[in-house]
Each structure stands twice: as C-alpha cells, then as structure tokens.
C-alpha cells in the first residue's frame, strides 16, 4: 500500500471514513514524515505530537460511532505562524510575538477542525509576512525541498515546502501580495487565494488590522491536487460571525462559456522564456480540454492596481511597522522598510481615501473584463523562482524582485481570487501559471486548473534535495 503521507487529502479522508485506515495511523505517518525531513527544510517550527494523536483519536471515535467525521476526516493540515491556533504562539516570524499565545482558533482553523482535519504543526514565514522569501531571527530559514538554492517563496514558504515534501496533505496560508500563490509556484504545488470575504479570518490575539490590509488579505489552501484545494476551500469557507467581511455566496456559480484569455505580458511585464513557454503550454492544455483560448495584449490597469495595493498596504501604519522591524532586527524586514520609506514619504495625507476611491474604479473595470473572459491566464512571476535571498542583494536585487511580482501585488487590490497551478519543471526548478476569475468564482479557477493539471504536473510529494 502507498505510504499514507503520499496520498492526496481527499483519498486519505475517504480511506479513514470507510475505516480502511485509521486517523491515528495517518497522523503517526505524518509525524514520522515530519521527523524524517523537516530537519532538512525547517518548514514546521512548532508541533505537539501527543496533541496531534489526540485529535486523530477523536476522528476515529466519531467513525467508530457511525458519525460523520467531516470531508477532511483525519487529514493532517499545517497552519501558518501568523494565524491564531489555540495554545500556540502567533509569532508572525518575529521575536516580539514569541510569547503571544492564542486562546482561540482563527475562523479558518476552526472550520478545518470542524471538517475533521488534524492540525499537524505551525509553518514558517518571514518576519511580519513581508517577503517572498522565508527566514526570520526567531525560527530560522526554510529551504525549498526541490532545490535549496531557490526561495521556497513567501510569506507562506513553510506551508508550501511542507506540502511539497509530504509534511501534511494541505496547508493553510495567507495572501496579501502573493503569499499563497508564489510559494506554491516556487515549491511546485498548487495554491488558491480566495476572494475577499470567501474564507472568514480573524486573529483575536492581535489588534484590528488597518482597513487596507482587511480589504486585501485572504486565507486559503495550498495542496498537491486541485481537488484537494476544492475540498479545503469548501471546509474553510464555513460562516463565522467574527469576520464582518464574510459573504454567504455559493461555491459553485452559474455556468459560463469555457472562454479564457491568455496574457503573456500584462502591463508590459518582461517575462522569462520559460515562463512564456509555461503560459502557452497551459493555454494549449485548456484548448485541448475544449476551452476557447484567446491571446490578448493586456489587461485592465494592472500597474495602477499594483500601486493601489502598495498604497493601501503601506499608507496606514508604516511607522509602526518600521519601529517593529527596527526592534526585531530582521534583515529582510528592514530591507522592505528601507526600500519603501521614500515611497511612503511621497504619499499624500489622504492616501487611503484616494486609494479606496480608485480601487472602486479598478474593480469595475476588472468585473467588466472578467464578464467577457470568465478565466484569465497570467504569469505568476516574470521569472522562475528566485535565488534565495535575492531581495537582500542590494537595490538592484530588490527592484528585480519587486518588478517580477507585478501580478502578485496587483490582484489583491481588487480582492480577486487567483490560483497558482504548477505545470512543469525546468531542470529541477518549478514553473506554473496563474488563473484569475471574477469575485467569488473560485470554481472557475479550479475548473480551469483541473483541466491544466490533468495534462501533467511535477511529481509531489518529494524527498527534499540536500
């Protein structure tokens, strides 16, 4: 029989529900895999084996009594360190929050538990979740299991590295500028950033977030199959009154024509030949699956959307962030603050108000565009996954990273959903594509993603490369 930690989440849950394996066996397999490979990649920075087994026993007890344990029955799932999980510190990768222990689960974590998932451990992220690289002074650096010279992505780098190496079958991540989509791309797995309001979010351990962050941040799953992402999304999207942004919209929307747009160079972005090849290949895969794929020259105002994202993110509370970064001392966080200071100082006093007004216009443009093209294929990044630490290689390195991540930065400004689908390897380096759809049409992202996935993706999980 295939080792349990290798199985897709949906297949494992079926085996547990039908009593072919126990949740305890699955949990023990996940713990053994964590012990075997985590020392090489440092993806998981906190876990409690006894509690993991206790959760599994609770699932097995429900099964034994003939009760429904949930769609994720016994599936080991990891949770990012910036998300509240009762009994664990919400460190956010900073020594300043090393002892900030959550008293209650965040809504998405609670929803996963209700769906039968077993919370396996806490995944690493950069300090304050600021970078597309994953290191901090509290927990250390996470390595990409496919190639340790490459970034595992960020800020959900530990989450993606864990999924790719078989530590848990799914991971909970967060995304305000690519923090789910980019780590999935870098580690050769799939990642879904849902629409604003689809998955409820709230950290009772922390102060209320600024309005810009509230409007752009999303919680979503990272996994090895598109079907696993779908089941996880359904589970995570259950209502929770603690999030006023949550919206009761059906997961499946009305049928639309299978019509996709393919944009190779949004906003004039210059892309690597391997990225272009991956996009054209994905377009052909969709065409082979019966979609009409139309190549277009550009999208609505993507560079302006990236500027709005930057202003909403940095325009409120920057000095508090700068002070916290200085007190923590993390080089990556300090580099982001240093590179952003001149931009922030040039912002008008009413930057948030102006940005919110402009956001409305951009959302209208994109809604009209996506009514014509139900699905849009874009680069995840203009480059293959970066050499690890590239953003710390002076101003040129930072600018290169910032420009490459144009689509990562732009789409959250409008609260749009986005799905990264891994499609191939260039040597040992993953490459993939990004699928965008209208608000609350994650189902279309997943539909297109499944068609692309069906025509081949990199092997996963893998043993980490030394």
What is the reported pLDDT for 343? 94
Tell me the pLDDT tens digit for each residue of 411-464: 999 999 999 999 999 999 999 999 999 999 999 999 999 999 999 999 999 999
Q: Report strand pairing: 170-175 vs 218-223.
A: antiparallel
Q: Can you give the three-state secondary structure of the chain, one letter per residue?
A: CCCHHHCCHHHHHHHHHCCCCCHHHHHHHHHHHHHHHHHHHCCEEECCHHHHHHHHHHHHHHHHCCCCCCCCCCCEEEEECCCCCCCCECCCCCHHHCCCECCCCCHHHHHHHHCCCEEEEEECCCHHHCCCCCEECCCEECCCCCCCCECCCCCCHHHHHHHHCCCCCEEEEEECCCCCHHHHHHHCCEEEECCCCCCCCCCCCCCCCCHHHHHHCEEEEEECCHHHHHHHHHHHCCCCCCCCCCCCCCCCCCCCCCEEEEECCHHHCCCCHHHHHHHHHHHHHHHHCCCEEEEECCCCCHHHHHHHHHHHHHCCCHHHHHHHHHHHCCHHHHHHHHHHHHHHHCCCCCHHHHHHHHHHHHHHHHHHHHHHCCEEEECCCCCCCCECCHHHCHHHHHHHHHHHCHHHHHHHHHCCCEEEEEEEEECCEEEEEEEEECCCCHHHHHHHHHHHHCCCCCCCCCCCCC
* 275, pLDDT greater than 80: yes
Whole-number Å distance between alpha carbons of 171 and 56: 17
The confidence band for 406, taking pLDDT boundaries of 50, 70 and 90, is very high
What is the reported pLDDT for 107? 98
Q: Is 450 noted as a catalytic residue in this protein?
A: no
The confidence band for 81, taking pLDDT boundaries of 50, 70 and 90, is very high
* Structural domain spans, the chain: 4-453
Tell me the pLDDT tens digit for each residue of 374-402: 999 999 999 999 999 999 999 999 999 99
What is the reported pLDDT for 27? 98
In percent, the amount of the chain with pLDDT more than 90 equals 99
Instruction: Tell me what the pLDDT averaged over the chain comes to.
Output: 98
Cα–Cα nearest to 177, from 131, 211, 119, 111: 131
Mean pLDDT computed over 254-262 = 98
Mean pLDDT computed over 99-121 = 98
Q: Is 343 noted as a catalytic residue in this protein?
A: no
Catalytic residue among 125, 156, 179, 340: 179
Catalytic residue among 22, 80, 141, 340: 80
Q: What is the CATH code of the structural domain delimited by 4-453?
A: 3.90.1300.10
Whole-number Å distance between alpha carbons of 322 and 336: 9
Catalytic residue among 106, 135, 155, 165: 155
What is the reported pLDDT for 377? 99
Q: Is 141 noted as a catalytic residue in this protein?
A: no
Cα–Cα nearest to 174, from 136, 211, 213: 213
Mean pLDDT computed over 340-369 = 97
Tell me the pLDDT tens digit for each residue of 126-182: 999 999 999 999 999 999 999 999 999 999 999 999 999 999 999 999 999 999 999
The confidence band for 224, taking pLDDT boundaries of 50, 70 and 90, is very high
Cα–Cα nearest to 160, from 48, 227, 78, 52: 78
What is the reported pLDDT for 286? 98
The confidence band for 82, taking pLDDT boundaries of 50, 70 and 90, is very high
* 1, pLDDT greater than 80: no
Tell me the pLDDT tens digit for each residue of 17-53: 999 999 999 999 999 999 999 999 999 999 999 999 9
What is the reported pLDDT for 259? 98
What is the reported pLDDT for 255? 97
Sign of the alpha-carbon dihedral angle for 291, 297, 301, 303: positive
164 close to 461: Cβ distance less than 8 angstroms: yes
In percent, the amount of the chain with pLDDT more than 70 equals 100
Whole-model pTM?
0.98
Mean pLDDT computed over 209-217 = 96
* 258, pLDDT greater than 90: yes
Whole-number Å distance between alpha carbons of 71 and 14: 8
* 327, pLDDT greater than 80: yes
What is the reported pLDDT for 198? 98
Whole-number Å distance between alpha carbons of 48 and 200: 26
Buried b (16+ CB within 10 A) or exposed e, 3-34: ebbebbbbbbbebbbeeebbbbbbbbbbbebb
């Amino acid at each position: 029989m295939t080792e349990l930690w290798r199985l897709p989440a949906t297949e494992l849950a079926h085996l547990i529900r039908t009593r072919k394996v126990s949740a305890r066996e699955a949990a023990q397999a996940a713990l053994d895999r964590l012990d075997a490979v985590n020392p090489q990649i440092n993806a998981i920075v906190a876990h409690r084996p006894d509690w993991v087994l206790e959760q599994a026993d609770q699932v097995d007890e429900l099964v034994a009594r003939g009760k429904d344990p949930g769609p994720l029955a016994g599936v080991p799932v990891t949770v990012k360190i910036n998300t509240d999980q009762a009994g664990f510190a919400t460190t956010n990768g900073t020594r300043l929050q090393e002892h900030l222990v959550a008293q209650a689960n965040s809504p998405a974590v609670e929803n996963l538990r209700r769906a039968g998932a077993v919370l396996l451990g806490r995944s690493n992220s950069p300090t304050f979740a600021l970078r597309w690289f994953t290191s901090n002074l509290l927990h250390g650096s996470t390595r990409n299991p496919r190639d340790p010279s490459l970034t595992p992505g960020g800020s959900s780098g530990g989450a993606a590295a864990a999924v790719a190496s078989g530590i848990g079958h799914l991971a909970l991540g967060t995304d305000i500028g690519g923090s789910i989509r980019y780590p999935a791309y870098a580690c050769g797995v799939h990642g879904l950033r849902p629409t604003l309001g689809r998955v409820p979010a709230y950290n009772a351990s922390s102060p209320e977030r600024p309005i810009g962050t509230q409007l752009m941040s999303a919680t979503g799953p990272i996994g090895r199959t598109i079907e696993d992402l779908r089941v996880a999304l359904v589970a995570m999207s259950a209502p929770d009154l603690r999030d006023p942004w949550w919206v009761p919209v059906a997961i499946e929307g009305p049928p639309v024509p299978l019509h996709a747009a393919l944009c190779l160079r949004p906003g004039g972005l210059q892309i690597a030949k391997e990225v272009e090849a991956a996009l054209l290949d994905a377009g052909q895969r969709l065409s082979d699956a019966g979609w009409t794929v139309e190549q277009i020259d550009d999208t609505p105002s993507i560079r302006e959307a990236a500027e709005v994202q930057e202003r909403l993110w940095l325009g409120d509370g920057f000095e508090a962030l700068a002070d916290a970064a200085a007190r923590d001392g993390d080089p990556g966080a300090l580099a982001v603050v240093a590179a952003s200071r001149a931009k922030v100082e040039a912002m008008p006093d009413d930057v948030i108000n102006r940005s919110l007004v402009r956001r409305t216009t951009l959302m209208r443009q994109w809604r009209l565009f996506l009514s014509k093209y139900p699905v849009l294929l874009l680069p995840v990044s203009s480059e293959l996954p970066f050499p690890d630490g590239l953003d710390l290689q002076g101003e040129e390195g930072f600018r290169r990273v910032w420009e490459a991540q144009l689509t990562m930065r732009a789409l959250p400004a409008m609260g749009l959903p986005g799905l990264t689908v891994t499609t191939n390897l260039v040597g040992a380096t993953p490459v993939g594509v990004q699928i965008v759809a209208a608000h609350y049409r994650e189902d279309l992202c997943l539909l297109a993603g499944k068609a692309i996935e069906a025509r081949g993706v990199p092997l996963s999980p893998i043993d980490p490369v030394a």
